[in-house]
Amino acid sequence: MFNAYLTATKYTLLEQARNRLAIGLLLIFTPLWDFLFNQLVPGTPVAFKLMGTGAFLQVNGQYLTTLTAGFNALTLIIGFTLFNATLKGARFDHRLTLSGYRQLTLMLAKVTALVVVAIVISLYSSLVLLAFWRPTVFALVWLGYFCSALTYGALGLLLGTLINSELAGFFIIIMVSLIDTTLQAPVENPVANKSWLAAFPTYGPMQVAVSGGFTQTVAWSSVGVSLLWFIGFILLGLLVFWRRTRAWNAHGRVAGQAHPQLRAA
């Protein structure tokens, strides 16, 4: 099973690496997006509420907006990447289970690939920030981006198992990302410090990133909230994946259970 898991993970990552559009967006769109927002917004102080402590920080509005722009680009790219890969690989995954590949192996491979992609995209997005701003604790800014990447990667995987239309999937990811990230930024949204914003996926990652960007505080409770979003989306996505790849073959066996000759081989 372990060798099958490694093989499935390898090919899942290779499929991600073939997505030239996503790679181009990551390399070009992310720094361009950060640059534009960095130039548009002045560096006047803006109040940002740390929900964990209830304290208000007076932060540089230009830096905060650049940080938010990074979230916007990051969530769009990883959501699109995982959605596209899941949608296009659906039929192949189904054939693999009919051929004897365990569903659990394929699901573990998808989660592993998601985590690897999230690490790469969040690290690159964090490094791009250094061209415009030096956060207080870089590692915490990366952690905020990583939590957001996990969440939107899991959302992309979920949508890839639910929706058969590329256009519909992309539209949902774009709209959810734009609304979610914009609401968290006080510069664009005058009610960004309201407690009800905790109901949105980027709330936790934003709290973590701002804490690390302007203080040395670690917002562990916000990390926990972020992971709950990730776990919720990924479990739903894997459940739908399991349901869609579980099918009866012509001999009455359940997909995922290999034919005796295959097991003997």
pLDDT digits (tens, 9 = 90+) for 72-115: 999 999 999 999 999 988 888 888 888 778 889 999 999 999 99
Burial of 174-197, coded b for 16+ CB within 10 Å and e otherwise, reads: eebbeebbbbbbbbeeeebbeeeb
pLDDT at 183: 86
Host domain of residue 173: 2-264
pTM for this one? 0.89
| Mean pLDDT for all residues in the chain | 87
2 compared with 6, residue with greater pLDDT: 6
Least confident of 14-18, 33-37, 64-68: 14-18
pLDDT digits (tens, 9 = 90+) for 229-257: 999 999 999 999 998 887 544 344 554 44
Q: Is the model's pLDDT at 185 over the cut of 90?
A: no
Instruction: Compute the average pLDDT of residues 29-53.
Output: 88
Least confident of 40-44, 187-191, 228-232: 187-191
Q: Is the model's pLDDT at 264 over the cut of 70?
A: no
- Per the structure, the count of domains in the chain is 1
| Token pair belonging to 3 | 């060798």
Contact between 229 and 201 under an 8 Å Cβ cutoff? The reply is yes
